[in-house]
Amino acid sequence: MSNRFGGVGNGPYASLNLGTHVGDDPVAVAENRRRFSAMIGAEPVWMNQVHGNRVVDAAAVLGGPVPDADAAFTDRAGVACTVLVADCLPVLLAARNGRAVGAAHAGWRGLAGGVVENALAAVCQSAGCSPADIVCWLGPCIGPGRFEVGEDVLRAFAGPSAADRFVASADVEGQPRWRADLAGLARDRLRAAGVVSISGGTWCTVEDTSRFFSYRRDRRTGRLAAAVWLRE
């Protein structure tokens, strides 16, 4: 998982912005991506993330057009499944047998739409294992004290299992609002799918100004990257 340090960007993109779609200098982003690839020692596969639930085979799309997708998996060493975030939740998955890994970009829409379950299924199928044999790591995202949402988000996760992940907040212009636990919602869905080993999900991108980009905090800002890969 990257943070803001170690790049060449300036201003709101200082310094390791890895997003090409946020208004930053393309030359700076290209250099930052080169540095990120060198840091991890693998080839990142980037996606055009659309808050959906599509999963792609990272090795199959490597070197081709950037796919519209929000998750990727691979069983090929040296290929990094990579997601960009700036408040959404990065979910990294690895099979204990070392045969496959995957990454999902989980904003609330994608999470409600099943992107994490789809990524999990793809990794399990590729590795020939069950969800209980998957190790999961949740990266930094907007925290439960900062993620204020409306009734549309509450409805998307309707059900007794998700009720504890929403805390009523003050009304805004007569409309009820809640504070949602995005990482908690993802953790619940992973456990329901059979994943036992889940760690992370404790960092808030909004509150940690020095380390993380945050779209909700700054609007004009960069993107962090989370990646997982099999070693050569």
Binned at pLDDT 50, 70 and 90, residue 33 comes out as very high
The per-residue pLDDT for 191 is: 98
Looking at every residue in the chain, the average pLDDT score rounds to 97
Return d(Cα 48, Cα 173) in angstroms, integer. Answer: 35
Mean pLDDT of 23-37: 98
Binned at pLDDT 50, 70 and 90, residue 160 comes out as confident
Compute the chain's Rg from CA coordinates: 17
Q: Which two tokens stand for residue 220?
A: 């004009």
Mean pLDDT of 102-127: 98
Return d(Cα 115, Cα 103) in angstroms, integer. Answer: 10
The per-residue pLDDT for 211 is: 98
| SS3 per-residue string spanning the chain | CCCCCCCCCCHHHCCCCCCCCCCCCHHHHHHHHHHHHHHHCCEEECCECCCCCCEEEHHHHCCCCCCECCEEEECCCCEEEEEEECCCEEEEEEECCCCCEEEEEECHHHHHHCHHHHHHHHHHHHHCCCHHHEEEEECCECCCCCCEECHHHHHHCCCCCCHHHEEEEEEECCEEEEEECHHHHHHHHHHHCCCCEEEECCCECCCCCCCCCCHHHHCCCCCEEEEECCCC
Set out the domains of the chain in order of their start, with CATH numbers.
11-144+187-228 (3.60.140.10)
CB 55 within 8 A of CB 106: no
Q: For the beta carbon of residue 160, count every other beta carbon within 10 angstroms.
A: 6
The per-residue pLDDT for 75 is: 98
Mean pLDDT of 166-184: 91
pLDDT at 171 > cutoff 90:
no
The per-residue pLDDT for 209 is: 97
Mean pLDDT of 87-106: 99
pLDDT at 172 > cutoff 80:
no
CB 135 within 8 A of CB 98: no
CB 1 within 8 A of CB 228: no
| pLDDT tens digit sequence for 44-94 | 999 999 999 999 999 999 999 999 999 999 999 999 999 999 999 999 999
CB 164 within 8 A of CB 227: no
The per-residue pLDDT for 174 is: 81
